[in-house]
A = this chain, B = another copy of it.
């Protein structure tokens, strides 16, 4: 019997979940979406995300796919799922894609943002939505540091240890700090990310902004490939998976994609 593959774009407030991935007896985004699909179709499906996000990490544009035999039109899934999903998750769009499409392996680029609230006092409105750094940050030197990440590098120094990855080389296309609504916001786009990579890059750049290390330390860290020399891992609740990019004309992607998207992710 035929099935169709549906692509979902998903927003969630990560502070309510133990991360994207289904885990025993823990509230997960994936689990809530699978439950919602069961409620409306009666099908027990497995939802595949573009990558995991840790507990507390938010998403504006997580992408996932699943297969269904339901007659609900693909575009209607978003509206119908939102009626049964909790307020902390919403499907922004849904559409039918080729059975070759894979949320993880077809991805060609991802954008993350990281929000830092930089002022003396904490902010109730930004609670669990930004990292509060109360000491003044030098955004110019942070931007000098950010520029060193652009290009193709070995990110071993910026990857949490204990994970089963072989290739630590990733290419970064965009890496910059801007100021938005009283926060410093780091935007990074790359062809793939290692586990905790954006959070370690952010923690290291915040140390640059606090004058604890110089921007010129970044190329040295990339060179030395030693996690211990890099900075702290910034907390999860400032991180947003912003957008996942696909070449939908060519969902099988480019050769060697699994090198970047087969390993652990943020």
Report A's interface with B, CB cutoff 8 A. 11-13, 58, 60, 78-79, 82, 87-93, 120-125, 127-129, 180-181
Contact = CB atoms under 8 A, between A and B. Distances in A.
A220 B58 CA distance: 46
Interface centre among A11, A89, A128 (most CB of B within 10 A): A11
A76 to B, nearest CB: 12
A88 B124 contact: yes
A89 B13 CA distance: 20
A90 B122 contact: yes
Contacts of A180: 181
B123 A90 contact: yes
Contacts of A90: 121-124
Given A180-B181, A181-B181, A82 B124 contact: no
Nearest to A13: B124
A101 to B, nearest CB: 21
B181 A82 contact: no
B124 A89 contact: yes
B11 A125 contact: yes
A118 to B, nearest CB: 14
A60 to B, nearest CB: 7
Nearest to A129: B125
A95 to B, nearest CB: 14
Given A78-B121, A82-B122, A180-B181, A87 B11 contact: no
Contact of A125 (B13, B79, B91): B13
A121 B91 contact: yes
Given A11-B121, A60-B125, A87-B127, 7 more contacts: A79-B120, A82-B121, A82-B122, A88-B127, A89-B124, A125-B129, A180-B181
B78 A92 contact: no
Contact of A124 (B87, B124, B125): B87
A238 to B, nearest CB: 13
Nearest to A128: B87
A70 to B, nearest CB: 20
A72 B42 CA distance: 63
Nearest to A127: B87
A125 B13 CA distance: 5
A128 B86 CA distance: 13
18 contacts: A11-B121, A11-B123, A11-B125, A13-B127, A58-B125, A60-B125, A79-B120, A79-B121, A82-B121, A82-B122, A87-B124, A88-B124, A90-B123, A91-B121, A93-B121, A125-B129, A180-B181, A181-B181
